Amino acid sequence: LSYRGKANTLLNARELNAIIIDLDSVSLNELKNLIDSFDNTPGYFGAIPRPTFLVTSGTGIHIYYVLDQPVDLFPYLKQQFKELKYGLTYKA
C-alpha cells in the first residue's frame, strides 16, 4: 500500500501495489501441493494464480502477487479489501 499523510492507516491508504498472503505452519507436503496447484485446472474454489514470488518465513511462507499497475483505493474498495482480509483471517 502507499499512503498519504503521517499515519499508515486505512483512511490514508491511496494505492494497492501488491497482495501478500502469510501462511503459517505449512508442511513440506502442503507446500508441494500448493505449488503444484498454481495455474492448474480450476477446482472447487477456482484456479490459484501463479504468484510473483514465494518467500519462506520460518515455519510458513509468504505469497506475493505484485500488481502490474497500482490500484487506486477508492473508499468502496478499501471496505471490500478490509472485509476480504478479515474474512480470510483464521480466528481460533
Cα separation values, 78 from 28, 62, 64, Å: 34, 22, 19
Each residue's pLDDT tens digit, 2-24: 667 777 766 667 888 888 888 88
Each residue's pLDDT tens digit, 65-91: 999 998 888 888 888 888 887 887 766
Look at the pTM and tell me if it is higher than 0.75: no
Question: What contacts 21, CB < 8 A, 6 or more positions away?
Answer: 62, 63, 65, 88
